[in-house]
Each structure stands twice: as C-alpha cells, then as structure tokens.
Amino acid sequence: MSFLQLILLGPPGAGKGTQAARIGAEFKVPPISTGDMFREAIKKKTPLGEQAEKYIKAGELVPDELVLGIVRERLNAPDTAQGFLLDGFPRTLPQAVALDQYLTGKGQTLTAVINIEVDPEILVERLSGRRICQDCGGVYHVVTKKERQPGICDLCQGQLIQRSDDYEETVRNRLTVYSQQTAPLIEYYHEAGLLLTVDGAQSIDDVYQAIATGLRKRVGQ
C-alpha cells in the first residue's frame, strides 16, 4: 500500500467520521479527528478543552492557535509513519498553509484532499435530529435511527440527550461559519490539484466507493 497523507473535508453532519474509519481500515492510515481530541479534552476539563468548549458551544470554529499545537504533536506519533488521514483539520486557509509548511519541513507533501459535499438542509435534518447516550455515547436519530424505548439507550439504558451543538440554531450557525471559512481552503486545494470532491448525499457505501475509487486512481492502483 502506498504512503498516503490525506485530508478529509466536509461540513458538520457530512459523515466524515464514518468515512474516515473505512478509509483508515482499507488504506492502513490512522484517522486523526480533531473533533474527538477536543471532545476528550472538554470532558477531562483540560485547559485546552475549557478554552475550546466556549467556541464549540457557540457553533464557532476553534481558533488556530488552539488547534495547531495538538495537531503537530499528533502527527509526530509513531503510528503516522506510513501516513495519516486528518478529519476536521485544516478548516481555514492559515491552517492549511501552516500544515503545508510543517510537511515541507519534513520533506513530505499531501496525497489528496477529500471533500464531501452535502446540501445544507439535509445536514440540518441530520444533526438537529441526532440524540446521544450520555453514558455509552451511542448515537440515535429521531427519524432514521429511533430507540426502542423513548429517551432510553437500547444498549445500556442510559439517557439520550441532544448535544447543545446539535440544536437547530447552532447547527445553522456552524454551517454558515464552515462555509465562510472553508471556501478559500477548498479553492486552495483545488488550485493545487489535490481536491477529490464526492457527493455526500448518497448512501454511506456509495460515498465510500467514490472516495476509494478516487484514491486508487491517484496512487495508480
């Protein structure tokens, strides 16, 4: 398998986490989610987590200075020796430039930037209907994945909650912020010839097949 250094872009609710796991398993690269890193930091109430929490709750992007350090540290971990898949970073043009500078300093370059596109109204329905088990983290949806007993997790009987960043008003704000700040980023990678855009409104399997086919073409498989 070729050495792959990948970025996965897409708005909140586009299914990046699901696709990242599948890409990681097939192409043997570790999925690295900045979202998961921040959620863990918030749960543990670390200094970084407490700073990030106020931005996330407001549906705003976490400032670059809070993100760059943790990403660099993660990319130095031993499991990235054969490549990586960044999910949720970079989100802004300055972050993209900083990442390019970091990789250039190591004599490396990106392989591809996967961009999952989904209509905003579909994303609002996906996210505002999501419910999370506060005990085990199980994910449900009021339309597409209902629990058997209202408000109770099927797996552990924990209480289902709606995360504050899944409230409809917050979701719409998150999507607006994402669009405004990442449009230049998408253009940046398009001009660099790295962008691989797929339709995220398809089924999970179809989205993955489009991604996998595009990656294989890029590495000559």
Among residues 181, 5, 6, 10, the alpha carbon closest in space to that of 94 is found at 181
Radius of gyration from C-alpha coordinates of the chain: 18
Active site residue 16: yes
Placement of tokens 């586009």 in the chain:
14
Do residues 4 and 215 lie in contact, with contact meaning Cβ atoms separated by under 8 Å? yes
Q: How many CB atoms lie under 10 A from the CB of residue 86?
A: 24
Active site residue 174: yes
CA 91 centroid distance within chain: 10
Active site residue 130: yes
Q: Which of 16, 39, 74, 126 is catalytic?
A: 16
Q: Which of 39, 126, 130, 131 is catalytic?
A: 130
Q: Which of 39, 74, 131, 174 is catalytic?
A: 174
Exposure of 178 in the CB half-sphere (CA atoms within 13 A): 22
> What beta strand segments (E) does the chain contain?
4-9, 31-33, 83-87, 112-117, 130-133, 139-141, 160-161, 195-199
Q: Which of 22, 163, 172, 218 is catalytic?
A: 163
Q: Which of 39, 91, 126, 131 is catalytic?
A: 91
Cis preceding-peptide flag for 90 (omega within 30 of 0)? yes
Active site residues: 16, 91, 130, 163, 174
